[in-house]
Amino acid sequence: MLKIGQTNRLSVSHLADVGVYLDGGRYGDILLPRRYVPKSCQAADELEVFIYLDSEDRLIATTERPFVQVGESAYLTAVDNSRHGAFFDWGLSKDLLVPYNEQERPIEVGKSYVVHAFLDERTESIVGTTRLAQHLSELSYYFKPGQLVDLLIYARDPLGYRAVINQTHLGLLYNSEVFQTLRIGELVQGYIHQIRPDRKLDLTLRKPGVIVEDALAQQILAHLKQRGGSSPLTDKTPPEQIYAEFKVSKAHFKRALGLLYKQKMILLAPDKITLV
């Protein structure tokens, strides 16, 4: 079944001077303009195309790939404002409209925002929204603590950062779980830290504790070997320097040092750590 606002694989119905027409099922034939038609294209060939509405609200196909498809969120730049709302560059000739009632706050031309694309069921037109919480669920019934996920940072929060999880859900990344500089629109990998009693999701950028500390211990050993057996990074080193080297918090670094020390693999001194 054809999906508006997404990539579809459609067969060529017939050729025309203006391009080729694709079989859109119940939507009828859909034009793929000549500039997008592959060379030697013939009737019955199958093409992978993106389906959207042109400036006259007619279904049209393109082989171009937009920055975001229906059901996805992406960091887009506003290019215009009108009486209908704000328009965003999403990689196609026709800009993506974010109506005023779908704006979390007034949108300024030239600035970038995380936009979620969805299909207006009444008009079957593709529109965007910056009101992500109205379109993506904050409640989880299938994520598990410790699960690796893709995160899109979409808003700053007094408690930390809000993120889109795997393009399907929303979660909160607390300040205490962030040990690097994050920016709105950034894509990072993270983990499900916990699922609260209300089913909302707390996130973290660090691996689950035991796994991290074991892996981190191995990293520290490798770091020491590369430096000839000693390093000035100790439990007294500023957190920023530790993160720059190992991408972990100081607390995790200290626990990993403690693990290595208990196993008599390193010696601890105020100004350095040394391989035994």
My answer on whether 241 and 200 are in the same domain is no
User: Which among 35, 34, 32, 33 has a CA at the least distance from the CA of 12?
Assistant: 32
Check which CATH number belongs to the domain holding 95 and give it. Answer: 2.40.50.140
Answer whether residue 173 is part of any domain: yes
User: Which among 197, 54, 53, 65 has a CA at the least distance from the CA of 119?
Assistant: 53
* pTM score of the predicted model: 0.76
My answer on whether 78 and 118 are in the same domain is yes
My answer on whether 171 and 227 are in the same domain is no
Domain range for 27: 7-62
My answer on whether 32 and 82 are in the same domain is no
Domains identified in the chain, total number: 4
Answer whether residue 153 is part of any domain: yes
Residue 20: strand pairing partners: 15, 32
Q: pLDDT tens digit string along 100-149?
A: 999 999 999 999 999 999 999 888 899 999 999 999 999 998 899 999 99
What is the residue whose two structure tokens read 């403690």? 258
Reduced to 3 states, what is the DSSP secondary structure of residue 176? helix
Answer whether residue 2 is part of any domain: no
My answer on whether 199 and 217 are in the same domain is no
Q: pLDDT tens digit string along 159-169?
A: 999 999 999 99
Q: How does the average pLDDT of the chain come out, rounded?
A: 92
3-state DSSP helix/strand/coil % of the chain, to nearest 5: 20, 40, 40
Q: pLDDT tens digit string along 76-91?
A: 999 999 999 999 999 9
> Who contacts 171 (Cβ-Cβ below 8 Å, separation ≥6)?
138, 151, 162, 163, 165, 192, 200, 201, 202, 203
Answer whether residue 68 is part of any domain: no
User: CA-CA-CA-CA torsion for 216, 217, 218, 219, nearest 10 degrees?
Assistant: 50
